[in-house]
Amino acid sequence: MIHAAPVIILLPLVGFLVLTFGGRRLGDPSAGWLGTLAVTGSFVASIVTFLGLRSLAPHARSVVQTYYSWVPVGGLKVNISALLDPLSLAMVLFVTGVSSLIHLYSISYMKGDPQFRKFFVYLNLFVFSMIVLVMAGNFLFTFVGWEGVGTCSYLLVGFWFDRETAATAAKKAFVVNRIGDFGFLLAMFLIFAHTGSLDYHGVFAHLGSVSRGTATAIALLLLFGAVGKSAQLPLYVWLPDAMEGPTPVSALIHAATMVTAGVYLMVRVNPILALSPNSLTVIAILGVATAFYAATVACAQNDIKRVLAYSTMSQLGYMFLGVGSAAYGAAIFHMISHAFFKALLFLAAGSVIHAMNDEQNMKKMGGLRKYLPITSTTFFIAWLSISGVPPFNGFWSKDDILGAAYHKSPVLYVVGAATVLLTAYYMTRQVVLVFTGQARWVENRPGVEGAHAASGGHAAPVASGGHGGSAAGEPGGGHAGPPHEGPWIMTLPLIVLAGASVLGGLIDLPFGKVKFLDTWLSPVASGAGDLATESASLRIALLLVTLALAGAGILIGSRLWGVRIDRPALEPELLKRSYYADDISSAVLTGGGGMVSRALSVVVDNGIIDGAVNGVGHLARAGGGVVRRAQTGYVRNYALGIAVGTVLILGFMLVRAS
């Protein structure tokens, strides 16, 4: 079999190392090009490997490549190994593909940033970690990628660390992820204790001896890890704050890497989930609850990126719903669809933010369709896709998941369908606020419609647009003239992703033999949900219901927000602040938790722990004080002691002898 697995993994690492040590010599734009080239090369290698794997028979498509014996300790043998199977290849293909586009886009987006080179260093490391995560052949090596992704998210969310909010958001992302990692670690301990292996193949071969309770415990602990990484309830709080990072980072975290890791892990361990139907139900409920919760919050956000952040959370909820319904193929399908349209949404949002001189409040935008034709067209495609309008890919993948959810329980379907309505509504609200209606940015903008240069950094009055290629990074800013599109390296990724969003549905159409992705994944991940055979009429009915709901959402959104942008009744404070989740957690953790900690510090720390240590000291001191009197310093006393002792011992021996 022809494959290029080491190339896939190593190219981003090489890019990272070269940029770290030689980035200064390369200079600004070429460092970005090098980083892009590394990831694109990795993508090409993935395609080669994919074709190689395809040439094998379906049941033989699971190849382990071992490179190095990492931890050979007693019964524990962990290798640096890559697992090439349909699941890892499907993941790595879209991860590297979407990442290449985001890299390309970043070259222009980050232009002029003083930390330009460092950005690509982190970006390459991020992609490398993600590839390790999805291609690793055992849990421990996956965990390395898992941690690497967490670290890179910290570095990238806090990329503009001189902003207080960015630094805080980075810390939050790291800490919350760390809580989830704890679950992953415990799950690994349990897995090793019960199967004696950490290799995916080894573990799945020994599942026969694992009891149902143990399987449930492992599944729930892994779920806990996945919840942290994939921003599900209740560990989602880091995701909206992660918007403090540069927009390409948001695209990378939300579309291709990081948040998909949790879903990937759940699909990867599907043989364990199969042993524990209860954990599947937990996953499904958690997923659908997150989807609904995040969708409601997204309805009241005004920041263009925060809407997308909550929408990511909501879509990830769908993926968990798919996993929980044992429809692994559908979950992966939606993950890939989501990667396309969410990357597109973020990159287009970045383009908008760029054009608006770093303004992120949607209420201050409007009417941009005229100025940003490419951005708006591609954004519209992504909007229709995420809303679930055919023939775009989001429609097919979402329908796939909802069908499986109906098979599991109609209640799950109802909540999921309600979320479809909300999704269509908030996305329409965003589109309407940003791209249509009145241009509400004119008064702040010099050089447009006769206004003079009055504000905006080093802005110079430029009569008309059309100076493509002079885009500045976010902290720079300050263009005069009407908003305009970025250079081709910013618009090309948008167009490619839009094409993928239009055609992406083709990889898994729900008609008999054309379910390519399900067929491809079936050797490693085929659950009851994927094989569910509802009658055709029922499926079509469900499909029409969701379609009608999506249409209703779009209609309501455009009717309400097209007319008036100020509707406080529809944006209650409760939703704006995401149900006061942050306030509650800080009240509980710093208020209640702080009180408990202070009480514990007085009682336990001062009283018991310090008490024990000091007590030992006091005891030794008091005992010494008593005993030291025997040490008089007079030779005669010692001599007397020896004499008396000798006499006593002799007396004792005489008594015993007689």
Residues contributing to the site for another protein (CB under 8 A): 627-636, 639-640, 643
- Distance, CA of 627 to CA of 417 (rounded, Å): 83
The amino acid that residue 394 corresponds to is G
Paired with 73 in beta bridges are 76
Burial class (CB within 10 angstroms; exposed 0-12, middle 13-18, buried 19+) of 70: middle
Helix (H, G, I), strand (E, B) or coil at 73: strand
Query: Distance of alpha carbon 340 from its chain centroid, rounded?
Result: 15
Nearer residue to another protein within complex by CB, 513 or 629: 629
Please say whether the beta carbons of 77 and 223 come within 8 A. no
State the residue for tokens 């190219």: 11
Residue 181 CB, shortest distance to another protein, in Å, is 56
Residue 635 CB, shortest distance to another protein, in Å, is 5
Nearer residue to another protein within complex by CB, 59 or 629: 629
512 torsion bin: left (phi>0), alpha (psi -120 to 50), beta (else): left
Please say whether the beta carbons of 343 and 102 come within 8 A. yes
Residue 658 CB, shortest distance to another protein, in Å, is 20
Burial class (CB within 10 angstroms; exposed 0-12, middle 13-18, buried 19+) of 626: exposed
Q: What DSSP character marks residue 306?
A: H
State the residue for tokens 């007590």: 615
Residue 172 CB, shortest distance to another protein, in Å, is 60
Nearer residue to another protein within complex by CB, 513 or 636: 636
- Distance, CA of 461 to CA of 481 (rounded, Å): 7
- Around Cβ 619, how many Cβ atoms within 10 Å? 10
Hey, what are 365's tokens?
């935008």
Residue 643 CB, shortest distance to another protein, in Å, is 6
Please say whether the beta carbons of 374 and 358 come within 8 A. no
Residue 630 CB, shortest distance to another protein, in Å, is 7
State the residue for tokens 């029922």: 538
Residue 627 CB, shortest distance to another protein, in Å, is 8
Nearer residue to another protein within complex by CB, 57 or 626: 626
CB contact set of 638 (below 8 Å; sequence gap of 6+): none
Nearer residue to another protein within complex by CB, 452 or 636: 636
Nearer residue to another protein within complex by CB, 2 or 630: 630
Nearer residue to another protein within complex by CB, 2 or 635: 635
Hey, what are 160's tokens?
């503009």
Residue 640 CB, shortest distance to another protein, in Å, is 6
Cα–Cα separations (whole angstroms), residue 238 to 114, 158, 161, 298, 313: 26, 12, 16, 15, 11
Nearer residue to another protein within complex by CB, 361 or 637: 637
- Distance, CA of 204 to CA of 213 (rounded, Å): 16
CB contact set of 655 (below 8 Å; sequence gap of 6+): none
CB contact set of 464 (below 8 Å; sequence gap of 6+): 481, 482
Nearer residue to another protein within complex by CB, 630 or 657: 630
Nearer residue to another protein within complex by CB, 564 or 621: 621
Nearer residue to another protein within complex by CB, 73 or 635: 635
Hey, what are 217's tokens?
């415990």
Residue 650 CB, shortest distance to another protein, in Å, is 13
Residue 628 CB, shortest distance to another protein, in Å, is 4
Residue 619 CB, shortest distance to another protein, in Å, is 18
Nearer residue to another protein within complex by CB, 278 or 637: 637
- Distance, CA of 37 to CA of 103 (rounded, Å): 9
DSSP run (H or E) holding 249? helix 247-251
Residue 617 CB, shortest distance to another protein, in Å, is 19
Residue 651 CB, shortest distance to another protein, in Å, is 16
Phi, psi of 230 (to 5 degrees): -100, 15
Cα–Cα separations (whole angstroms), residue 197 to 83, 146, 271, 596, 624: 15, 19, 15, 40, 55
Nearer residue to another protein within complex by CB, 564 or 629: 629
